[in-house]
Amino acid sequence: ILNVEQSPQSLHVQEGDSTNFTCSFPSSNFYALHWYRWETAKSPEALFVMTLNGDEKKKGRISATLNTKEGYSYLYIKGSQPEDSATYLCARNQFYFGTGTSLTVIP
């Protein structure tokens, strides 16, 4: 089993704060890292897929970086809004998921 770990498990931030989460994964035989946003009672929504060491992706206020050599990815949210409240999942090589980081943005 290839363990993907996410931290923190949960996070509460005030509206307007910036925040970040970590996804750690085994670096051997790596080919892709996916980030998803999962709101309660909805389908997980793909945010980013990254493949190359040093990759950086951005979508609005959300961005992600990838370090394949040391096996980690960071997800950043700038100026958090209540609608950003969700669980953020990462997946190594498409199928190996972490347990997620639950973000709550307090108005």
Under the rule (CB under 8 A), what is the footprint of other proteins? Answer: 4, 31-32, 34, 36, 41-46, 49, 51, 89, 91, 94-100
Query: Token pair for residue 69?
Result: 């050599």
CB of 26 to other proteins, least distance (A): 14
C-beta closer to other proteins: residue 25 or 77: 25
CA 66 vs CA 29, 43, 79, 81, 103: distances in Å: 15, 24, 21, 24, 21
CB of 20 to other proteins, least distance (A): 20
Distance, CA of 13 to CA of 18 (rounded, Å): 8
C-beta closer to other proteins: residue 1 or 28: 1
